Amino acid sequence: MSIRIAEQTKLLQGTLDLLILKALALGELHGLAVSRRIEQMTAGTFQVKPGSLFPALHRMEEAGWLVAKWGESESNRRAKYYRLTAAGRKQFEVETGEWNRISLAIAAALRTT
Amino acid sequence: MRMFSYVRATARNLVRRGKVERDLDDELRGYVELLTAEKVGEGMTPDAARRAALVESGGVEQTKEEVRDARAGARLEALRRDVRHTVRGLGRSPGFALAVVCTLAIGIGLNSALFTLVYSVLARPLPVRDADRIVNVYQRLQSGGPRGRDVRGSSSFLSLAEFESYARVPAFASAAVYHPQGLTVTGGENRVVQSELVSCGYFRTLAVPIAIGRGFSDDECAHPGAGRVVVLSHAAWAARYGGDSSVIGRAIQVNGLPLTVIGVAERGFNGISFQRASMWVPVTMQPTLEHGRDSILVHSNASWLTMVARLARGATLEQARTQAAVTAERLDAAEPGRRTIPVVVRGAYFNFPDVSSQGAVPIALTLLLGFTIVAMACANVMNLLLARGLARRREIAIRLAIGAARRQLVQQLLIESGVLALAGAVVGMGFVLALPPMIRALLPAGDMQLDVSPNLRVIAYVFLVAAAATVLVGLTPALQTTNVDLASAFKGTATFGKRQLRPSRIRSAIVGVQMAGSAMLLVMAGLFLRGALHATVTNPGYATRNVVAFSTNAAPLGYDDERAAVVYRELMDHIRRTPGVVDVALAAQLPLLSRNTGSVRVEHGTDSVVYNVDVAVVSASYFHTMDMRIVRGTTFDTASSSADERPVVISSSLAARLWPNDEPLGRRLQSGSRWFHVVGIASNAAASSLSRAAEPVVYFAAASPLERQIVVRTSNSPATLTATVPTWARALDPALLVESERFEDRIALVLLPARLIAASTATLGALALLLATIGVAGVVSFGVGQRRREVAVRLAIGATAQQVVALMMRQGSRPIFVGIGTGVLIAAGLAHLVRGLLFGVSPLDPIAYVAMASVLALGGFLATYLPSRGAALIDPASTLRDDG
């Protein structure tokens, strides 16, 4: 099963942010690489299309969580690379904690009979 | 942190939009290329890979749009697009845009300029540090105050003793008083220097640093005559003492007394009186400076000092008011019959209570004028916008039909009026910026420190007016224009929603308002013009041409009566021998401008009655010099006078009031503690105001020439005399300075407000009438256009051309008559309030009303007749065929 985040932006915006932060936690990546990393991390469950990836990247950059700079890709093409800032790292921690709490709570809720 | 980066991003997105867009474009192109490369790597052909990559990416343009929406400042960006769209749209009809911007610029600009003027005079903070903590303290005394109070300037000023009581109010950290006064400086170049007599806490209270030397110490105000010291302004120090700091410690001759210069005040500080001060002297020097002739300093029942105080840290204006009221109660308790209301207000030049009572009418009139101007401009622009809206009905209908929300269209139309109002405000700022040079040109150079330059508050006001104009001007046309019945709009027939006002109704209402405004302005203009004319043509009771008054500084120089008598006799003899001189006299001052009042008591049998009168102190030849007549009796000279009964001359109006049925000559009257007897009756003359020509006046004989003016009437221009008298005086005593004043100048000054108001109301009234006329013409010709078919039918069944023209005119004339009527009524009401400025012309002066009503009616007639003529030219046959 794969979920196309573009169609559920509203519901999953927080999720997308968290996934992008996670993807970038290991190092800087360009747009396509971010979406591939997310695919890989979620075993293909989440396929992020440019229509939702790029607005999210730009929004997060404007919030000061990411910085972008132009660089060369592995295939010698010009590409914009995103990297976490200190604020981005902190945001990643906060959102991870938040997510864990929510998922535990929802899991608990679903367990009740 | 996050806020900061968001603001930075917003700024980047708005300012460097081109680069941001190019970056996005590059990034997305890169994405597709990388995806293509990936697919080629998986074994697809380049073409197929590219196609697949594009499909997988979804629409690139759509992605861009989503990024744009997610960007910081997306709303601002949308607004910017709307504004750009609007500006481009207005650029397509430059005539319309120019007309609206100019109209609004005149309205907003003039209104703001008038506001700036009123604000600068009444409310602008004093030019000192932390001016918002500075307050003025005045007092209002019930029924003019205790009897015999010595009032100089305003009865709301304080005596030194009163100041010392109020200064102890705990809410004041520090307090001071000042009194503007001209002092004579001699030695080297002699001159009268505008100064302030101040209490010793003056510089401390105002937080004005002393640049060189020191300020006053408290012991210099300890007792009368204590501090023979002076502080100079930086400007005076630089101009007169060459910026030489060795002047500190030197003595300069002030009113003939040696005063030691102890300091120079901070550069740029010129005191806090309306007139720029160059010197400060302790107030306790007042009697000494007057050579003991005038010691108002020690009178507790006197009004002459203006008090300033700095609020203590944490103290509020309210606390200061409450505490000052306690002090006032103490003052009242100490003096039976006295009732004091203290007035504590934020510091400004002109804020004493008299201003708010006497000045209220001119101020209100000024603000009303400003309001009328902006209302007229807005009415006209609204009319233009309505007309434009009608022309745009099809466009609006199409946009509504293809799904635009009405709210959105209204918003866009409001943005349009906002852009126009903003442009109007920016252009209108020109009027505000033109104010300082204009004031400098009108007021005597360098003397006044009226600062009318725009500050933040003025700018805020301008934009507030612009914002108000946006809504006022834009809302009705926007709602009107967007409320269309789609079907009829496309058919091209003008029908409107049932519950909606027809636009012609609204336009008629606007025209009515405009006519009312112009009627009000024109009638006021007519009255003021009549008043100014009346004042110049009616005889005030004395000569006004070729009269000149000379005043000297003999009193401040310390002349005694004897020496003054010698010098004045010498000067007057010189003048009398000059060819062309009709007569010479002494007088305390020329009539008009200021008022000297007193009371006299007469005995009618056993009753005694007190009358309030104007007082003049003159020499015997005054009446002939001023071309007045002694109606009965004689003037002072030839009358016999004993030591305890002195002669007076009274005006015929006073004689008629005091002894209506008896012979007034030889009667006694009491003034102060002295008795006088009437030796002569003088013809009536306007003493204090041109509008009151028959005021009761008592003329007392001038004993000593000290502090009197020499009044001269010549048969031709007194120009040579004004040039030579000062040189004669200098020959008698090098320190003796003479200033001259032509009576005509004084009269011109008295008439200036009326003339200014007349000129400005006339100009604005004419402008308003022009605008209203155009508005009327527009409404009528629109009506003619709409009723073409009806007119054609009427003509076809036998109506004459005259009849249809009359029909059309009737439709346009209602708002005109209603408007003129309303305006005239408002003007009549206002005229009663400004009677004082009309110089005796009745507020219901028929000539002004009839003349102005005729002008208005003529304007209204032309505005309805010219477009109505179009109705007569309608060809019934073709009209009915075309529309049928």
Question: Pick the residue with more confidence: B231 or B483?
Answer: B231
Say if residue B874's pLDDT is above 90.
no
Cα–Cα distances in Å, from B290 out to B295, B297, B299? Answer: 8, 11, 15
Q: Measure the CA–CA gap between B135 and B362, rounded to whole angstroms.
A: 24
Tokens 């002008």: give the residue. B855
pLDDT per position as a tens digit, B602-644: 887 778 787 778 888 888 888 888 888 888 888 876 555 555 5
Question: Contact A31/B31, CB-based, under 8 Å?
Answer: yes
pTM of the model: 0.68
- Summarised one tens digit per residue, pLDDT across range B678-709 is 888 888 888 777 766 778 888 888 877 777 88
Using one digit for the tens of pLDDT, what is the confidence trace for B701-711? 887 777 788 99
* pLDDT per residue as tens digits for the range B553-582: 888 888 888 888 888 988 999 898 888 889
Q: What is the pLDDT of residue B441?
A: 73
pLDDT value of residue B337: 79
B261 touches B213 (CB < 8 A): yes
Whether B5 sits inside 8 A of A56 (CB atoms) is no
Q: Give the pLDDT mean for B180-198.
A: 85
pLDDT digits (tens, 9 = 90+) for B370-396: 888 888 888 888 888 887 887 777 788
Report the pLDDT value the prediction gives residue B325, as an integer from 0 to 100. 93
Angle of CA points B98, B101, B107, to nearest 5°:
135
Considering only CB atoms, which chain A residues are within 8 Å of B63?
50-51, 54-55
Instruction: List chain B residues with CB under 8 Å of A49.
Output: 56-58
Residue carrying the six token digits 């709009």: B489
- Min Cα distance A33 → chain B (Å) is 9
Rounded-to-integer distance, Cα B275 and Cα A95, Å = 68
Q: Can you tell me whether residue B553 is helix, strand or coil?
A: coil
Instruction: Provide mean pLDDT across the span B594-603.
Output: 76
pLDDT in tens, B113-150: 888 888 887 888 888 888 889 999 999 887 545 566 77
Place of tokens 């109007």: B424
pLDDT digits (tens, 9 = 90+) for B781-802: 777 777 788 888 888 888 888 8
Predicted local distance difference test score (pLDDT) of residue B167: 93
Tell me the one-letter amino acid at A85.
T
Smallest CA–CA distance, residue A83 to chain B, in Å, is 15
pLDDT band per the 50, 70, 90 thresholds, residue B444: low
Identify all chain A residues contacting B1, using CB atoms and an 8 Å cutoff: 64, 87
Q: Which helix or strand (DSSP H or E) is residue B781 part of?
A: helix B743-786
Asked if B6's CB is within 8 angstroms of A59's CB, the reply is no
Helix axes A50-62, B17-41, angle to 10 degrees: 140
Segment B55-104, tens digit of pLDDT: 888 778 888 888 887 777 777 777 888 888 888 888 888 888 888 898 88
CA gap B797, B876 in Å, rounded: 10
Report how far apart, in Å, the C-alpha atoms of B88 and of each of B84, B181, B302, B389, B645 are. Answer: 6, 61, 68, 17, 88
Smallest Cβ distance to A54: which of B5, B9, B63? B63
Q: A62, A75, A89: best mutation site toward chain B, by most B Cβ within 10 Å?
A: A62
Q: What is the mean pLDDT of chain B?
A: 83
**Contact at CB, A54 and B66, closer than 8 angstroms:** yes
- Band of residue B38 on the pLDDT scale cut at 50, 70, 90: confident
Query: Which of A84-93, B288-297, B515-524, B643-652 is least confident?
Result: B643-652
HSE-CB at B529 with a 13 A cutoff on CA atoms is 16
Give dist(CA A27, CA A36) in Å, integer. 14
Asked if residue B831 has pLDDT above 80, the reply is: yes
pLDDT at A11: 46
Asked if B126 and B451 count as a contact pair (C-beta separation under 8 A), the reply is no
pLDDT at position B197 over 90:
yes
Secondary structure of residue B14 in the 3-state scheme: helix
Q: Which residues pair with B597 in a beta bridge?
A: B614
Q: Which residues contact A34 (CB under 8 A, 6 or more apart)?
A: A20, A23, A24, A48, A53, A57, A82
- Tell me whether residue A40 is exposed, middle or buried, using C-beta atoms within 10 angstroms of its C-beta: 0 to 12, 13 to 18, 19 or more: exposed
| Interface ipTM | 0.86
Inter-chain touch A79–B72, beta carbons under 8 Å: no
Q: Which residue has the higher pLDDT, B868 or B1?
A: B868
**For residue B492, what pLDDT is reported?**
53
- pLDDT above 70 for B883: no
The string of pLDDT tens digits covering residues B506-539 is: 778 888 888 888 888 888 888 888 887 777 766 7
Residues of A in contact with B72 (CB under 8 A): 62
- The reported pLDDT for the residue numbered B499 is 44
Residues of chain B contacting residue A59, judged by C-beta atoms under 8 Å apart: 70-71
Q: Which residues of B touch A61 (CB under 8 A)?
A: 9
SS3 (DSSP) at B518? helix
User: Is the confidence at residue B323, as pLDDT, over 90?
Assistant: yes
**Span B446-465, mean pLDDT?**
83
Token pair of B815, please?
Answer: 């708002």
* Contact assignment for A75 to B34 by CB distance below 8 Å: yes
**pLDDT of the residue at B796:** 87
CB contact under 8 A, B62 and A30: no
Chain B residues interacting with chain A (CB cutoff of 8 angstroms): 1-2, 4-6, 9, 23-24, 26-28, 30-31, 33-35, 37-38, 56-60, 62-63, 66-67, 69-72
Chain B partners of A75 at a C-beta cutoff of 8 Å? Answer: 34, 37
- Set of chain A residues whose Cβ sits within 8 Å of the Cβ of B31: 30-32, 50, 54, 79
Q: How far is CA B474 from CA B90, B133, B307, B511, in A?
A: 15, 41, 48, 17
